[in-house]
Amino acid sequence: MYIVLAVLAFSILIIAHELGHFTLAKLNGVMVEEFSLGMGPVLFSIKGKETRYSLRIFPIGGFVKMLGDDKKSDEPRAFNNKHPLRKLSIVVAGPLMNIFLAVLFFAISSNQGYVIPTVGEIQSGMPAQKAGIMQGDVITRFNGNKLSAWDDFMISMSTNKGEKVGITVKRNNEVKDFSITPAYDKVSKRYLVGLGGTLKKPNFYEATIYGFKETGFMIKTTGAFFKTLFTGKASMNDVGGPISVARITGDAAKAGIYPLLFVAAYISIQLGIFNIIPFPALDGGYILIYLYQAITRKEVDDNKIGIINYIGFILLMILMVLILVKDILHPLKL
């Protein structure tokens, strides 16, 4: 059942992405020939008024096939006959739907409560207590940087190797600065200052704000990870594929619907960001082309685009196989 929930959650992310493309294609007057969930041989399909809706055997993606997107057509409703800005809106809609879905899922998941940067727990004998931090203090800055969410604090501490940290708190409208040297915790094998945040149960407005804040934070951290990955500073041990995604979402499903939604939101953001990477066969590659056409008002040879995208697709498939093998031999550990 947990595997079914994990697959369902991932399928929703794919459907949302492709639904973004589909909706904007329709709004821009483009004929959609097929809306598919999954890749490979067709398991099931049904023909609508003009669009065929398909379910394919491999649940690793999906696609929206539009008239004129792979070869030229003289039909007025063909994708290739639309203005570059209209094409751009159709392509961008997919990743944007993933971001919108993340906001929604984060907002809903916050109904279980979320931690805010107000000190709720101070561990006895730990550096924070010795420095004079008290319960009720609101942490506003960490190492001089503004702190808007407890996640910021946790991420910053997770990379600490024992270096002294600066923590600014607000106490009764008074600002206090502390310089604290973390202590090594043998159980968690990390350097800690001994602070815990406060669990908050939000109302509808606060949940919505949390959804946007958490999405922004996750976009920032995911973007930073992709930067380290493509600059060679990240390890392949930090990368997970379909098996890792299924395992992580399955574990989240065991914990309940809210943890599952939180993990799904995080994966949705990664899908959105990955797709806007300017690489052939990804949405980002098309975005780059249509931006160029809109700015320069010059056409790009469709045959060359087709060849480049074909090569890009092959490279992506090779990458997928490599990640799948890595996933089997060395599963992602969290």
**Residue 85 domain-assigned (yes or no):** yes
pLDDT tens for residues 223-249?
Answer: 777 777 677 665 666 666 666 766 777
Kindly state whether residues 13 and 97 are assigned to the same domain: yes
Q: Is residue 18 located within the same domain as residue 100?
A: yes
What's the confidence (pLDDT) of residue 227?
A: 76
pLDDT at residue 237 in the model: 62
Non-local CB neighbours of 238 within 8 Å, separated by 6+ positions:
225, 229, 332
Could you tell me the two tokens for 62? 């999906």
Same domain as 103, residue 11: yes
Q: Which of 18, 121, 174, 299 is catalytic?
A: 18
Contact present, 99 and 272 (Cβ < 8 Å): yes
Cα torsion through 148, 150, 152, 155, rounded to 10: 180
Output the pLDDT for position 183: 92
In this predicted structure, what is the pLDDT of residue 333?
A: 57
- How large a percentage of the chain has pLDDT more than 90? 43
- 227 occurs within a structural domain: no
252 in a domain, yes or no? Answer: no
- Count of domains in the chain? 2
* Domain end among 156, 179, 200: 200
Which residues are CB-contacts of 1 (< 8 A; sequence separation ≥ 6)? 253
Which DSSP letter does residue 72 get? -
Average pLDDT in the chain:
86
Active-site residue 18, yes or no?
A: yes
What's the pLDDT tens digit per position in 128-182? 999 999 999 999 999 988 887 888 888 788 878 889 999 999 999 899 999 999 9
Q: Does 67 have pLDDT greater than 60? A: yes
Same domain, 125 and 100: no
Are 87 and 152 within one domain?
Answer: no
Query: Domain check: are 98 and 126 in the same one?
Result: no
Please give the backbone phi and psi of residue 328, each rounded to the nearest 5 degrees, phi first. Answer: -75, -45
Give pTM, 2 decimals: 0.78
Least confident of 89-103, 201-215, 249-263: 249-263
CA–CA dist 205, 125 (Å, integer): 38
Instruction: Pick the most confident of 186-200, 296-310, 316-330.
Output: 186-200
d(CA 240, CA 328): 10
| Whole-number percent of the chain with pLDDT over 70 | 90
User: Would you say residue 249 lies in a domain?
Assistant: no
List own/partner pairs for 199-206 with CB under 8 A and 24 or more apart: 199/113, 199/114, 199/115, 199/120, 200/113, 200/114, 200/115, 200/116, 201/111, 201/113, 202/110, 202/111, 202/113, 202/114, 206/110
8 A C-beta contact, residue 127 and residue 180: yes
DSSP line for 197-249: EEEE---HHHHHHHHHHHHHHHHHHHHHHHHHHHTT-S-GGG---HHHHHHHH
95 and 76 co-located in one domain: yes
Q: Give Cα separations from 93 to 16, 63, 98, 167, 263 (angstroms).
A: 10, 13, 9, 40, 22
Q: Among 43-47, 93-97, 151-155, where is mean pLDDT lowest?
A: 151-155
Same domain as 98, residue 53: yes
Cα–Cα dist 84/68, whole Å: 14
Residue 92 lies in a domain: yes
21 lies in the same domain as 70 = yes
| Residue 72 shares a structural domain with residue 133 | no
Mean pLDDT of 71-77: 88
**120 and 73, same structural domain?**
no
> What is the pLDDT at residue 332?
61
For residue 43, report the phi and psi dihedrals to the nearest 5 degrees: -90, -40
Residue 155 and residue 220: Cα distance in Å, rounded? 12
In a domain, 334, yes or no: no
Q: Judge if 38 and 68 occupy the same domain.
A: yes
Last residue of a domain, one of 153, 184, 200: 200
Last residue of a domain, one of 150, 170, 200: 200
**Residue 271 domain-assigned (yes or no):** yes
- Could you tell me the residue range of the domain that residue 48 belongs to? 2-109+264-329
Domain annotation covers residue 232: no
CB 18 within 8 A of CB 65: no
Q: Higher pLDDT residue, 34 or 313?
A: 34
CATH number at residue 183: 2.30.42.10
CA distance 126 to 187: 14
**What is the token pair recorded at 110?**
């916050």
3-state helix, strand, coil in the chain (%, to 5): 55, 20, 25
